[in-house]
Amino acid sequence: MTESSAPSIRLDKWLWHARFCKTRSLAQKWCASGQVSVNGTSIHKPATSVKPGDVISFLSGPYRRTVVVQAPGERRGPAPEAQTLYDEPEPPVKQTDDFMPHRPRGMGRPTKKDRRAMAAFKDDGMSG
């Protein structure tokens, strides 16, 4: 196959088909925020095409995941079908404690000051 005839799919749609995102709009937000990179390049457009062989890296909770696209996918099917769309060559890497705010168990509800600090942290993380 030539480069132009290789089957491809939009990045946001592939993330949704592979069940990394619960909704397609969430996948679009991930792409727009710059949290996803394809072949080492940070992506800011959900319409970016991906094809088999592309390496996608993204944050999923406290973990950095790197997957290789195996197939574009036809639909959002059951989990066993979604797992055939990608290969994960190495296990997810947990980010350092500096990256994610940590609150010890048993500390009760966050105070107003804690909530403001968490909100400020989330806003800074989304600005790309």
Q: What is the pLDDT of residues 44-61, one digit of tens each?
A: 999 999 999 999 999 888
pLDDT band at 65; cut points 50, 70, 90: very high
Rounded CA-CA distance 19/77 in Å is 9
Q: For position 127, what pLDDT does the model report?
A: 47
Model-wide pTM > 0.75: no
Q: What is the pLDDT of residues 26-35, one digit of tens each?
A: 999 999 988 8
Question: 9-94: what fold?
Answer: 3.10.290
Q: Where are the domains of the chain?
A: 9-94
